[in-house]
Structure 1
């Protein structure tokens, strides 16, 4: 293979490793450096941006370095990226995890900058790496190799790192530099958040399943789907790959239209709701957005050549844009401002860069992609009805009680910053619950590594799930049970000054010859005053939804016994099921001092056998109780 041909596998493997490092580094910023929002958002943002600014130092030095020095920089950066990626399989939790991931990010950015300045084209290597990263994440059930804890995961990472080092440390080419490097960062953001995120796509599939006619009312609630629907990820993956790598001459205005389609697709995903026909629109937006992004990346990489320093600065500038956009989007949930415009603006920047690159020139596209998309899209409705979905329901006609667990899982991350859904599942499984109520469930946040936490936990527990969005379509609350569900509904709560959104999810289960309504919620208190607005809304919703059934309201309520909010619940008819067993402390998980996770009941329900778990798989301890009628 010639020197120039090595650039494709080299960039593909480098992209794969960098994405894997980011999936550990991003949540480490929040859970380890940020200590679950106890560190000021401004300080977290400054710390995060620092690692994207440091690599710029290599750009002005590159032209002054002799050949051997340049070779050494490339080699050290490649070994640093590969070594850090491998180390993260073994280094879990604490400051070690944070700084190993930070070193990997720094070395990865330096290595990519040297590739840009050495004349490598970003296409097709980087897009192929993003597709491989997405497919690998899908095959692993959206759990990274870092967190699987198996010998074969270590073996796979060793192979990936060795292959990367074989390709990544090569002789300098010093060829003419191509454009398009400025789009690498925005592409990583858009693919990681939406367009090549298996968790984001499968979340839309679960919303679509929940909206299908099934005799259960209530829109906007996600339900388990057939495992065959994992194949639907082939649509955006193939679309992005073919869009980025296919070549045939077409007229410029047709190329420019891909930029507009990209902006439209991202906007539809961000603003169309999850109920009604929303999931179908959003699923379609992901697919066409992936195709459009691939085309934009390909078109922008065929523009006028630039000097090495400009190419390196463009690459690092694009990744700095990735960091700024990620901070702008996710810090909104701490600071409280609208954020859905952020990915749309990033898509607009990609579109603008593409328009500049293609104006007045003929560029490339390949026929036949539309046929492929149509064929796979027509197969999706068929896949919906294939077997292999959630566990079967379990009837308990003679039961006189049920065991309930309420647990704030903090997106699956423990106090030490590790993603350990098995530990969380083990703590829940120990209680042998009939119903599990979960708070802070993340289904695709790039900030947390892009995991579908509810699907992972449901698989591990062998239970069915119902999920409702709160802050955005992929962050909210859930109920898991294998008891028959006869109704479900969600209602968004008023923000009332709190930065993070909230909702109330109602599920009616059938057990012991009667129906019981279970409401899962996570109150977001406004600063300096009790959350009475949300408390009244939850009470009203639970009463309307529960009707004359026994009703349970459970979750992380962020209020203490005796607070005015607890009095407001009592005035609405919801008593504290744990009142006779106080104190029942659940936060923080390692040394609980606060009673903020609650189970409230009405309609003749009584409680016994309360239990607080000892796991630190979240910042909250799981709370279990048996309810009788």
Structure 2
């Protein structure tokens, strides 16, 4: 069976803000709502990393609020990283000054892209679903940012499982805010063909990674060749990269 190797990246970019230690959440909290600091320089560093991949899933990308100087960060990264196709899903506002989105950057043309709000106790989470190729055998790529609370994650994962349950070639990536063996994750493995990761790569916090909470999950027919974490400028998450072998028929 002919296969094509794709390079994927999932990155929570923290809207181009800098966090290098836990104390920064308090002392640099202004950077999450105000257009100060070297956010453009941070984005350029992220674009350099992203541009080495075929498909990139972004979380906490600002869609163009005061915080980003009204720059749509997903669009900016697409231009700087050399991506012909991009899409974003604004899903959270922060104090009327900032906004956050999931984003897709792709060098392959998707056949369609849909955004879905996720359930949860607090609104503002979503999943961005892109299809490549045609029909049931096509490749489905979902990008999500899940809640901090286990009960909300459970309902969100149930929703995502319904979206992906009949896809033999699917990828789910993003910031899950939980380890892959958490109880709420089991329904995802039971109701879809997505597999638990063969190995866990710690991504949080970026300055001393201890928790594997960012994931790239694939269905059984998609073989993961390599998986590694990289610094995404000074986000509090490391970016997670994977090389995945995809059947050519899934991209036609």
Q: TM-score range by the shorter chain?
A: 0.7 to 0.9
Structure 2 Cα separation of the partners of residues 548 and 621 of structure 1 = 28
Q: Tell me which protein shows more helix as a share of its residues.
A: 1
Alpha-carbon contact 2:157-2:187 (below 8 Å) kept:
yes
Structure 1 Cα separation of the partners of residues 157 and 232 of structure 2 = 29
1:451 shift after superposition: 2.5
1:424 shift after superposition: 1.2
| 1:507 aligns to 2:130 (yes or no) | yes
Equivalent of residue 465 in structure 1, options 68, 86, 91: 86
Structure 2 Cα separation of the partners of residues 408 and 608 of structure 1 = 22
Match of 1:426 in 2: 48
| 1:592 aligns to 2:209 (yes or no) | yes
Mark the CA change 1:484 to 1:549 in structure 2 (over 3 Å): closer, same or farther.
Answer: farther
Structure 1 Cα separation of the partners of residues 236 and 183 of structure 2 = 25
1:541 shift after superposition: 1.8
Q: Tell me which protein shows more strand as a share of its residues.
A: 2
Alpha-carbon contact 2:142-2:171 (below 8 Å) kept:
yes
In structure 1, stretches of 5+ residues that fail to align are 1-397
Mark the CA change 1:576 to 1:407 in structure 2 (over 3 Å): closer, same or farther.
Answer: farther
Higher relative contact order (CA 8 A, sep 6+): 2
Once the two structures are superposed, the pairs formed by residues 244-255 of structure 1 within 5 Å of their partners are: none
Mark the CA change 1:484 to 1:444 in structure 2 (over 3 Å): closer, same or farther.
Answer: closer
Structure 2 Cα separation of the partners of residues 548 and 569 of structure 1 = 13
Match of 1:402 in 2: 6
Structure-2-length-normalised TM-score = 0.79
Structure 2 Cα separation of the partners of residues 522 and 436 of structure 1 = 14
Alpha-carbon contact 2:205-2:238 (below 8 Å) kept:
yes
Once the two structures are superposed, the pairs formed by residues 452-601 of structure 1 within 5 Å of their partners are: 452-463=72-83, 464-471=85-92, 475-494=100-119, 496-498=120-122, 501-510=124-133, 515-526=138-149, 529=151, 531-543=153-165, 547-576=166-195, 579-582=197-200, 584-601=201-218
Structure 2 Cα separation of the partners of residues 576 and 595 of structure 1 = 16
| 1:619 aligns to 2:226 (yes or no) | no
Structure 2 Cα separation of the partners of residues 447 and 548 of structure 1 = 38
Structure 2 Cα separation of the partners of residues 570 and 476 of structure 1 = 26
Structure-1-length-normalised TM-score = 0.33
1:504 shift after superposition: 1.3
Structure 1 Cα separation of the partners of residues 129 and 80 of structure 2 = 23
Count of equivalent residues: 220
Q: Please identify the structure whose Cα radius of gyration is greater.
A: 1
| 1:444 aligns to 2:64 (yes or no) | yes
Alpha-carbon contact 2:174-2:215 (below 8 Å) kept:
yes
Equivalent of residue 607 in structure 1, options 224, 228, 237: 224
1:434 shift after superposition: 1.1
After superposition, what is the alpha-carbon deviation per residue over 1:534-581, rounded to whole angstroms, capped at 9, x for unaligned?
A: 1101111233xxx4450111100111121112212111224346x322
SS in structure 2 of the partner of residue 560 of structure 1: coil
SS in structure 1 of the partner of residue 45 of structure 2: helix
Equivalent of residue 16 in structure 2, options 403, 412, 423: 412
Alpha-carbon contact 2:171-2:194 (below 8 Å) kept:
no
Alpha-carbon contact 1:530-1:565 (below 8 Å) kept:
no
Alpha-carbon contact 2:145-2:174 (below 8 Å) kept:
yes
In structure 2, stretches of 5+ residues that fail to align are 21-30, 32-37, 247-252
Structure 2 Cα separation of the partners of residues 455 and 611 of structure 1 = 25
CA RMSD of aligned residues (A): 2.4
1:484 shift after superposition: 2.0
Mark the CA change 1:509 to 1:617 in structure 2 (over 3 Å): closer, same or farther.
Answer: farther
Structure 2 Cα separation of the partners of residues 618 and 597 of structure 1 = 13
Mark the CA change 1:460 to 1:617 in structure 2 (over 3 Å): closer, same or farther.
Answer: farther
Alpha-carbon contact 1:424-1:617 (below 8 Å) kept:
no
Alpha-carbon contact 2:224-2:244 (below 8 Å) kept:
yes
1:427 shift after superposition: 2.5
Mark the CA change 1:435 to 1:627 in structure 2 (over 3 Å): closer, same or farther.
Answer: same
Mark the CA change 1:594 to 1:574 in structure 2 (over 3 Å): closer, same or farther.
Answer: farther
